């Protein structure tokens, strides 16, 4: 049984990864962490484990690698688009995946690392190029600006009530929009929607851009009310 520690501040991606890994009888998730302090605690508490952590947590990579070595554990990096996969391997990490990794590929990565091997994304850097992501492009172009805002907030892990508050509307209106979004993307729930978005780079890039604008708007609103 391979013990897995998941560390990622993106709740939807973490939940999706946990769901995929839990389906394999050889893998057991022993901790889920949302920040660096919890991740460091888990690493020192559970030796001989595999740590799957998001590069976006911005850990001290040298220190973390030494911690893993001391506990006879291994690390797999969830890299963001644009980050060098080979760079993480050069720092001693055994595996690298991007957020558009498929479920089977994630399982294969964990098993390869558990067996003492290394793992790089199949197409080394970013998977398919944005020009090749026709599905993501088609869905992005079908979504209205309001729907794209909702998708961006779903990817951030927001619930319907929070989305309604952020967009100054009601939960029922958000539910109505979600039904339309599910029809356009071919998914059945918010977790599938988030994973669908992450796995299609053109759509993920559009959602990230909208999400950044929403964060900037919220920050500006907070500063005005302070």
Is the four-CA dihedral 135, 152, 192, 190 of positive or negative sign?
A: negative
**Calculated CA dihedral for residues 211, 22, 89, 71, nearest 10 degrees:** 120
Q: Are residues 87 and 139 in the same domain?
A: no
**pLDDT one-digit tens code per residue, 118-150:** 898 765 444 444 445 788 899 999 999 999 999
Which position has the higher pLDDT, 127 or 14?
14
Which position has the higher pLDDT, 192 or 145?
145
The CATH number of residue 195's host domain is 1.10.10.10
- End position of a domain, from candidates 114, 149, 180: 114
With 0-12 / 13-18 / 19 or more C-beta atoms within 10 angstroms meaning exposed / middle / buried, residue 169 is middle
Q: Rounded to two decimals, what is the model's pTM?
A: 0.67
Biggest CA pair distance of the chain:
55
Q: What is the mean pLDDT of the segment spanning 21-43?
A: 94
Max avg pLDDT among 12-21, 67-76, 185-194: 67-76
Name the pairing type of β-strands 2-7 and 50-54: parallel
Give the number of domains in the chain: 2
Distance CA 151, CA 14 (A): 17
Distance CA 172, CA 206 (A): 25
Is 9 domain-assigned? yes
- pLDDT of 75 > 50? The answer is yes
Q: What is the mean pLDDT of the segment spanning 172-199?
A: 91
The phi-psi region of residue 83 (left if phi > 0; otherwise alpha if psi is between -120 and 50; otherwise beta) is beta
pLDDT at 132: 53
**Residue ranges making up the domain that contains 93:** 2-114
């Amino acid at each position: 049984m391979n013990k897995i520690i998941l560390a990622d501040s993106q709740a939807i991606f973490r939940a999706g990864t946990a769901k995929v890994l839990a389906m394999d009888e050889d893998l057991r998730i022993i901790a889920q962490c949302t920040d660096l302090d919890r991740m460091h605690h888990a690493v020192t508490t559970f030796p001989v484990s595999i740590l799957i952590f998001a590069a976006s947590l911005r850990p001290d990579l040298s220190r973390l690698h030494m911690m893993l070595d001391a506990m006879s554990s291994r690390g797999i990096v969830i890299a963001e688009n644009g980050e060098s996969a080979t760079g993480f391997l050069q720092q001693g990490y055994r595996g690298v995946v991007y957020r558009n990794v498929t479920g089977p590929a994630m399982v294969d990565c964990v098993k390869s690392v558990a067996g003492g091997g290394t793992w790089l994304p199949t197409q080394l850097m970013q998977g398919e190029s944005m020009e090749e992501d026709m599905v993501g492009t088609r869905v992005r172009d079908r979504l209205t600006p309001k729907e794209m805002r909702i998708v961006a907030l779903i990817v951030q892990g927001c619930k319907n009530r929070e989305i309604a508050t952020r967009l100054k509307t009601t939960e029922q209106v958000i539910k109505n929009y979600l039904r339309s979004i599910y029809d356009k993307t071919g998914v059945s729930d918010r977790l599938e929607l988030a994973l669908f978005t992450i796995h299609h780079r053109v759509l993920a890039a559009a959602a990230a851009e909208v999400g950044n604008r929403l964060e900037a708007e919220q920050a500006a609103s907070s500063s005005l009310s302070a």
